[in-house]
Amino acid sequence: MQLLTISDLQTQFFTSHGVAHAVDGVSLHVDKGEPLAIVGESGCGKTMLALSIMRLVPSPPGKIVSGSIRLGDTELLTLPEKDMQRIRGNRIGMIFQEPMTSLNPVFKVGEQIAEALRLHRKLSQKDAKDMAVDMLHAVGIPEARRRAAAYPHELSGGMRQRVVIAMALACDPELVLADEPTTALDVTIQAQILELMMELQHKRQASVIYITHDLGVVAQTCTRVAVMYAGHIVEESPVEDIFHEPLHPYTKGLMRSVPRIDQDQTLRPISGLVPNLYDLPTGCRFHPRCPYAMDKCREQAPELVRDGSRRVRCWLHAS
């Protein structure tokens, strides 16, 4: 059963340099209890897609221009802001990329978790604080009651990330958006956080969207992956298929750029640069960097077409 359905979403930024098409015609769905990955280089639109779902696009200059985002039977884009505030942190939780930017430095971490519980679950101050301690314990923080009385700067990076996860999960949301949840952490802590995320997802049966550029995270945590490039989804596939046989040239380039211990260790980056969103190439947006580019690729933009259980935006796979 589909929990989240996004249809032809357009999010643009209107600046003195022109209009940037940050999210351009994205259609996507997430099933109940499903872990989905959205991958791509920095600047491809991953985070802006998550902020669009939360209706937190910075405005001005950003604006959701058109499209549809449905959470169950609720159309999020037409909800009054007051109703949307009831959904943020309650039905949808978000784990931001850098914990220090999402935690208030002047409030104790337990108070910050308790605030969401008081707001959405209407708990008393004491019950909210007790539940906040329980959430810190659930995400693997030792001496949870003592840590609840700490300020963010008194905790390590791994601890802060666990606090952010506890905040996102405190109200038992149906959907969790995890924006690069392990980027700032060392390898050991990364593994612990991912294991924690998977365990909590299975226990709570929440849908999770992992926004990442790390294909290792995708392989470990997700069942399906959508690849974004310059505001578009260029490929969507079950994880096993995309690792064994990527269809889009961009996805193939991402796979080749990951070092593997069973192959030559020479890094093979994708040639060229990510296009300027204010001045996008004609035709296929990847054609200036694509080794398979044809005249048609330069002249006409391909549609996202279905290929079995997969979707791909490339003239090489157009029927």
Please give the angle made by the CA atoms of 219, 183 and 54, to the nearest 5 degrees: 85
One domain, residues 193 and 274: yes
Q: What is the pLDDT of residue 319?
A: 61
pTM of the model: 0.90
Give me the pLDDT at residue 263, please.
64
Q: What is the pLDDT of residue 75?
A: 96
Is 317 a domain residue?
no
Count of structural domains, the chain = 2
* Residue 123 within a domain: yes
Task: Say if residue 269 is preceded by a cis peptide, omega within 30 of 0.
Answer: no
pLDDT given at position 191: 81
166 and 193 share one domain: no
- Are 297 and 205 found together in one domain? yes
Residues 197 and 168 grouped into a single domain: no
Q: Is residue 318 situated within a structural domain?
A: no
pLDDT averages per 10-residue partition of the chain, 319 residues:
94 92 94 93 90 93 95 94 92 83 90 90 90 89 92 89 87 90 74 80 87 86 94 95 93 83 71 88 94 93 89 88
Q: Are residues 110 and 220 part of one domain? A: no
Q: What is the CATH number of the domain that holds 256?
A: 3.40.50.300
The residue segments making up the domain with residue 281 are 2-91+173-312
d(CA 255, CA 258): 6
Ramachandran area for residue 74 (φ above 0: left; ψ -120 to 50: alpha; else beta): beta
Q: How far is CA 265 from the centre of its chain?
A: 29
> Whole-angstrom Cα distance, residue 2 to residue 167?
25
Query: Is the same domain home to 38 and 121?
Result: no
Task: Write down which residue in 172, 194, 212 finishes a domain.
Answer: 172
pLDDT at site 194: 83
Q: How far apart are CA 201 and CA 207, in angstroms?
A: 7
Distances (CA, A) of 88 to 37, 182, 295: 20, 22, 46
For residues 129 and 193, membership in a common domain is answered with no
Domain termination residue (choose one: 125, 157, 172): 172
Residue 208 and residue 132 share a domain: no
Both 145 and 62 in a single domain? no
Last residue of a domain, one of 143, 172, 201: 172
Question: Do both 32 and 67 map to the same domain?
Answer: yes
Tokens 């269809």 sit on residue: 247
In the prediction, which pLDDT does 196 show?
79
3-state DSSP call for residue 213? coil
141 and 50 within one domain: no
List Cα–Cα distances, 225 to 7, 40, 75, 110, 214, in angstroms: 17, 11, 24, 34, 12
Residue closest to 176 by CA, chosen among 213, 218, 206, 205: 206
Q: Do residues 102 and 85 share a domain?
A: no
